[in-house]
Amino acid sequence: MSYIVNRNDRLNVLVEDLTHDGAGVGKVDGYPLFIPGALPGEEVDVHVTKTMKKYGFARLLNVTKESPDRVEPPCHVFSECGGCQLQHLSYEGQLVQKRKTVRDVMDRIGKLPHVPVHAVKGMDDPWRYRNKSQIPFSERNGDIVSGFYRTRTHHIVDTDVCIIQSEVADDLMTALKQELHGLGIEAYDELTHRGMLRHLVVRKGRATGEIMVVLVTNKKKFPQKDAVVELIKKVVPNVTSIMQNVNNQKTNVIFGEETICLHGKSFIVDSIGDIDFEISARSFYQVNPEQTEVLYGQALEYAQLTGDESVIDAYCGIGTISLFIAQKAKEVYGVEIVPQAIEDAKRNAELNGMDNAYFEAGPAEVVIPKWYADGKRFDVLVVDPPRKGCDEELLNTILEYKPKRVVYVSCNPGTLARDLRILEDGGYRTQEVQPVDMFPHSSHVECVAWLEL
């Protein structure tokens, strides 16, 4: 009879793998236990906290045999904060683990054991890489707290420093925490829906150094705004843009619909390679521009452009990949369901003097057939979908019109593998997959896959 694991059991377990969110996986007679903080190759003492029919959860008590890749996390709130999952794993170990994650889903979900998965392209300096910080503020026992949410909760882990975001964000977070009460401003309370400041959002252009500060407030009327603007200018004398975004909804969505410029411009400019982008308060823009250049460079390499090709960029956003590709293609047609993003994309094309990039708002599976019906023909299709992967209708559209080459940029290896399987069954062949580490110290990994008809 197989061993049955029970809640409150104390066990010694060999850790074999990591889950997609960075927890160790140990097995007891084939029964998986998920153990946050444990690393592959380690023997650990655990306390079983929850058991389900097919798997359970356990708390790490003690490491009896340590992985050679285990390191001391440099962040003092790493064990509480939900922002990073892998600071206790050496950076070299993280890259090895992320490649293994991609290889495993290619084999298990995609049934693609023959497809090469290359070593992950990592960073020389994997710290302070985020160009955007979204910092929640709240009140606790009469004090203002700010920092980052504990995993799977809305409990703020109070801190003044985050070593993966910019020092500017740290400085502003600390200054606002110290000065808000003196200015007569309360932080927001989710339970009572009272208080003024909900979030501080800081964006910094890596190439330009331009800085945008967004104060997300619970009300539009902001009597103390001039004093807050002066405080921000004192902390960041060269600030480019100070914005107020109004969100008075009972929601965990950060931004509301209305944004007001309090100081400077309503956007900042940053560059990826030779392309400039205007970034507004609510624009989607990759948070690691150094690795974005690596990611897009890989997409460009896989597109194999000679200058004669017509390219579709599905899920084009504000045109970041489109304009990168337009440098080498005859023409690029971008489609995106969010109308505001399309307006941003058109403005960014104009900003860069590119007249061979065209953008249209709507669902890709509707707009692409319309382009074909208008007589357009395309050689290459690029997709960069959200974490859920490509919509089934878009995959059907690709298989119907059959561009000869597909470049798939993915932020979720599991849905990438699923979609590659569907495209393979429809006549494509996956040539290779290149993972890129966009989010060091987290369990996330991005990939670029190259497919030929």
Residue 96: strand, helix, or coil = helix
Give the residues across from 51 on adjacent strands: 56
Q: Which residues are catalytic, by number? A: 411
β-strand pairing of 331-336 with 156-158: unpaired
Return the sign of the alpha-carbon dihedral for residues 121, 125, 127, 128.
Answer: negative
Fill in the DSSP letter of residue 51: E
How far, in whole angstroms, is CA 250 from its chain's centroid? Answer: 24
Which among 121, 107, 45 is positioned nearest to 446, based on CA atoms? 121
Instruction: Spell out where 291-356 has E strands.
Output: 310-314, 331-336
Residue 24: strand, helix, or coil = strand
Report how far apart, in Å, the C-alpha atoms of 53 and of each of 1, 13, 47, 120 are. 16, 19, 18, 35
Q: Which amino acid is at 18?
A: L
Report d(CA 446, CA 441) in Å as an integer: 13
Half-sphere exposure of 250 (CA within 13 A, CB side): 5
